[in-house]
Amino acid sequence: MELYNLLSLLSATVIAISGLSVISGIVLIKLGKRELHRKAMLTASFLALLFVIVYLIKSSLYPPRPYQGDNRTFYLFVLWSHTILSIINLPLVVATLYFGLKDRIDKHKKIAPITAGVWIYVAGTGWLIYYLLSN
């Protein structure tokens, strides 16, 4: 497997697992399992950081590949919404983690649903972008 394809698959897999960790963290907190929720969200955060590292390595080694499919408008909508929301989500994640780790639960509860929703969207569209560029 070519290094570019390996890095693309690795980054898509890591961000997908990160999104699944966020979903499991949501389920765990609704079940009242606070410590498991904390571990799931820290795992999701670590995986998101790993994604950024792999993505930056890939981007520094290879130019972006153009989309070759028939649904260019759809692809561009997904790409731009993914990109914009991923940028917006960075400070949301930092604030959400900070409030959670500092036991400022009132503020954490207010921002966490927004952060989680954006995170899941970004993870899902990240996988979709990978799929669209692979075909």
Which domains, ranges and CATH numbers included, belong to the chain? 3-134 (1.20.120.80)
So what's the pLDDT on residue 21?
Answer: 98
So what's the pLDDT on residue 65?
Answer: 87
Q: How confident is the model at residue 1 (pLDDT cuts 50, 70, 90)?
A: low
pLDDT at 39 over 80: yes
DSSP single-letter state for residue 89: H
Question: Mean pLDDT over residues 26-53, rounded?
Answer: 97
So what's the pLDDT on residue 33?
Answer: 98
Rounded Cα–Cα distance for residues 99 and 40 (Å): 16
**What average pLDDT is seen over the chain?**
95
Reported as a single tens digit per residue, the pLDDT across 68-110 is 999 999 999 999 999 999 999 999 999 999 999 999 999 999 9
Neighbouring C-beta atoms of residue 25, cutoff 10 Å: 24
Neighbouring C-beta atoms of residue 6, cutoff 10 Å: 12
The pTM for the full model equals: 0.91
DSSP single-letter state for residue 82: H
So what's the pLDDT on residue 104?
Answer: 98
So what's the pLDDT on residue 122?
Answer: 95
CB proximity list for 43: less than 8 A, separation 6 or greater = 18, 21
